[in-house]
Structure 1
Amino acid sequence: MIKSIKIRLKPTKEQEILMFKSVGVARFAYNWGLAKWEEMYKKGLKPSKAKIRKEFNNSVKKSDDFKWLYEVSGQITSQAFTDLEYAYKNFFNKTSDKPKFKTKKKSKKSFYVRYDALKFKDAKVNIEKIGKVKYSSNYNIPQLDNYVNPRCHFDGKYWYLTFGFEHSENKAKLDYNLSIGIDLGIKELAYVSCFNKPIKNINKSVKVKKLKKRLIRLQKQVSRKYEANKSGDRYNKTSNIIKLEKQIKLLHRKLNNIRNNHLHQTTKMIVKLNPYRIVMEDLNVTGMMKNKHLSKAIAEQKFYEFIRQIKYKCEFNNIEFLQVDRFYPSSKTCSSCSGIKQDLKLKDRIYHCDKCGLTMDRDKNASINLANYKIV
């Protein structure tokens, strides 16, 4: 299987300028290819990355107005057209939305790195056209001739390099008497069938609450400054507004990192128990987000990311991962006598069985039912 690694880069000022130029070239090539793709469709032609790339090389790269394209790696523009074709395939397969033009303000600042020029030596990595860049990492990076999909990206504060490589499965000894059920929630992140206590909601911690309070305060400041500098229907962006918006962006980055770190620690703790299988519900996260009262809390819990991490960590450790049907009554079923309580409502947080008298938290009861789930 493919294992991915993320390392932090420490470029010089000259290298960072080249990196930002590479980001700009990748965005320009993608947008040019998207416009040409749409133009071919309107003419009744069948576009492809090969046709787009050929026309780009013949018309754009040979022009004197675009000599700046040669300052960066040629693989960046080539990969941009590959990404565009992949985006259209996903669109036609109905797994993603239609490709859109990338804006300088909102698009992710990233670019493709030529894999066969990627070399690691003495805490430095060689990147084509950029040179040897210092990096820091806790990983033992294997010296290979072929790395999978290497990319550089900027998160608003630091530069990172991500890449994958072929890795064999982890041969951990599994406990075939242990099946774990996980029930995700909003008040607490998750109830795990074999844990006595639920996994806490990191968004209710003092640190996150302070950061969110500061974020709200900065957003209000920006809003007031926009109103104060409004001229007619147009908002003028001053230097102070730019400074505040940068602080807001870094706060969002910090909150996102805290939440992702909490998910990684939680999923690692569960997988380290070496169960033979992990069972979860097939949540309709898109449908849940339509609830205007709970959408913000659901987004902050990052349910989709939790499931994604559990999936790939189970695959890496050869653990069976099972998602039961979303209509399976895990909360309504008694984990002791298997009786179903049809009149259980969402506001009822304690499950009480009328048949056997079992009383426990409804989410804990659901996690036990998931752990004992049997495929019919």
Structure 2
Amino acid sequence: MIKGVKVMLIPKNKQNTLMFQSAGVKRFAFNWALAREQENYKNGGKFISDNDLRKEFTQLKKIDEYKWLNETSNNVSKQAIKDACIAYKRFFKGQAKFPKFKSKKKSEPKFYQDNIKIQFTETHVKFEGFSSSTKKNKQKLNWIKLAETNRIPFGKDAKYVNPRCSHNGLNWFISVGVEFSNNTSVPVNENIGIDLGIKDLAICSDNITYKNINKTKKVRKLEKRKKRLQRQVSRKYDNLKENKVSIKGEKPKKTKNIIKLERIIKTVQHKLNGIRDNYTQQTTSEIIRREPSHISIEDLNVSGMMKNKHLAKAIQQQSFYEFRRQLEYKSSWNNIELRIIDRWYPSSKTCHDCGYIKKDLNLSDREWICPDCGIIHDRDMNASLNIRDCDKYKIYKIA
């Protein structure tokens, strides 16, 4: 079983420069390979294999104009050419859209590291190609500090798959697939039904509720700060348009204050994303640790729900798809069956005790009384119990 692990890096200034340089080489090699494939296709030629393109690229690096390509690891450009060929093949097979050329301004800086040569310790990761010197003080350049310790297994037995470095506008990250032994134990505890909502993130049938993290003081404070900063940037852009008359077709250049404010906004957004992602990870892991024999969850029409302008932002912040995605892979790791309930099943409107369906139930009704048996239902808890017992009606599919 291969598990993906992603950890933030803390590079020094020179390491940071070399990483951006590697990302630049990767972008150039990808664009070059894609351009060669397009040119060859227009001239009536057949698909050029990545092996032939690599040989051609090696000859290109011998030209004085392109000698700067030799300053990074050979594996960076090789993998970029392979990625371009795979993307090109997928288009002709009808599996994806036509691959786009990577832009220096818009595309995310990223590059590949060789899965055999890469090394990990408790606190550092060793990259290839940063320094070829055998001196100890020069070799330190290859070792980059990890923001979290003991997250990635290391040693002789550790096997890595497809290590990639990426930059999100603020920080560098390394993501790598790590081989783990398969889990053979089968959980036998009570089943769990989960009702996702806006008031609370998840209401479980075993009477445990996970609150909405976006209603906490910390998140609200950060959201307020982000709004204030966005207004400042907007005003500065308006002033720039009024005071500086630009040439037709050209946008006015950003001032240093605008660049500074935009970076602060990115930092605030990064904090918000981190808080939300961490909470989702903790919630899903806690549900899995209870070891139920199966978990049931609704198949929500999130895109349809987002059309409600009053609730769109709240729904977006809850990240329902991400919650389901994490449950899917964590359930498969732990041999737990994940059942996806039909989206048209009226889980909130159906009385769990007698099966009566209250058709006139509104979204604002948080509690309702069953006209048939007289039981008072909490809307969300009743829905989670109905979702848990979905096997009675056979209205689910296995993820």
- Give me the TM-score of the superposition, normalised by structure 1: 0.89
Q: Report the Cα offset of residue 262 of structure 1.
A: 0.6
Work out which of the residue numbers 171, 174, 177 in structure 2 matches 1:158: 171
Q: How does 1:1-376 map to 2 (within 5 A)?
A: 1-43=1-43, 45=45, 47=47, 50=50, 53-54=53-54, 57=57, 60-87=60-87, 98-121=98-121, 123-130=123-130, 131-135=142-146, 136-139=148-151, 141-143=153-155, 144=157, 146-171=159-184, 174-176=187-189, 178-196=190-208, 198-230=209-241, 231-232=244-245, 234-374=251-391, 375=394
The 3 A distance-change label for structure 1 pair 36 and 191 is farther
SS at match of 1:334: coil
Q: Which residue identity does 1:301 align to in structure 2? A: Q
**Counterparts of 1:358 and 1:300 in 2: how far apart (Å)?**
34
The 3 A distance-change label for structure 1 pair 348 and 91 is farther
Contact 1:154 1:160 in 2 (8 A): yes
Cα deviation, 1:59-117, whole Å, max 9, x if unaligned, reads 74343222211111222222223333444566677776553333333322221111111
**Counterparts of 1:221 and 1:369 in 2: how far apart (Å)?**
48
Cα deviation, 1:46-67, whole Å, max 9, x if unaligned, reads 5465278348516743432222
Cα deviation, 1:297-353, whole Å, max 9, x if unaligned, reads 222111111111111111111111111222222222221112222333334333432
Q: Which moved more, 1:52-61 or 1:126-135?
A: 52-61
**Counterparts of 2:239 and 2:332 in 1: how far apart (Å)?**
54
Query: Percentage identity across aligned positions?
Result: 48
**Counterparts of 2:258 and 2:336 in 1: how far apart (Å)?**
50
**Counterparts of 2:169 and 2:309 in 1: how far apart (Å)?**
30
Cα deviation, 1:197-252, whole Å, max 9, x if unaligned, reads x3111111111111111111111111111121223463320111110010011111
Contact 1:191 1:363 in 2 (8 A): yes
Q: Report the Cα offset of residue 354 of structure 1.
A: 1.7
SS at match of 2:390: coil
SS at match of 1:160: strand
Contact 2:222 2:268 in 1 (8 A): yes
Q: Which moved more, 1:50-59 or 1:126-135?
A: 50-59
Q: Which runs of 5+ in 2 are unaligned?
A: 131-141
**Counterparts of 1:334 and 1:101 in 2: how far apart (Å)?**
55
Q: Which residue identity does 1:340 align to in structure 2? A: I
SS at match of 1:117: coil
Q: Which residue identity does 1:299 align to in structure 2? A: Q
Q: Please tell me the root mean square deviation across aligned C-alpha atoms, in Å.
A: 2.7
**Counterparts of 1:337 and 1:295 in 2: how far apart (Å)?**
34
SS at match of 2:9: strand
Q: Report the Cα offset of residue 267 of structure 1.
A: 0.6
Q: Which moved more, 1:208-217 or 1:8-17?
A: 8-17
Select the structure of larger CA radius of gyration: 2
SS at match of 1:148: strand
Contact 1:281 1:326 in 2 (8 A): yes
**Counterparts of 2:303 and 2:92 in 1: how far apart (Å)?**
20
Cα deviation, 1:244-275, whole Å, max 9, x if unaligned, reads 01001111111100100010111111111100
The 3 A distance-change label for structure 1 pair 99 and 325 is farther
Q: Which moved more, 1:117-126 or 1:309-318?
A: 117-126
Q: Report the Cα offset of residue 175 of structure 1.
A: 2.9
Contact 2:29 2:81 in 1 (8 A): yes
The 3 A distance-change label for structure 1 pair 251 and 56 is farther
Q: Report the Cα offset of residue 286 of structure 1.
A: 2.9
Contact 1:169 1:318 in 2 (8 A): no
The 3 A distance-change label for structure 1 pair 190 and 99 is farther
SS at match of 1:4: strand
SS at match of 1:114: coil
The 3 A distance-change label for structure 1 pair 52 and 102 is farther
Contact 2:294 2:339 in 1 (8 A): yes
Contact 1:155 1:253 in 2 (8 A): no
Other-structure match for 2:133? none
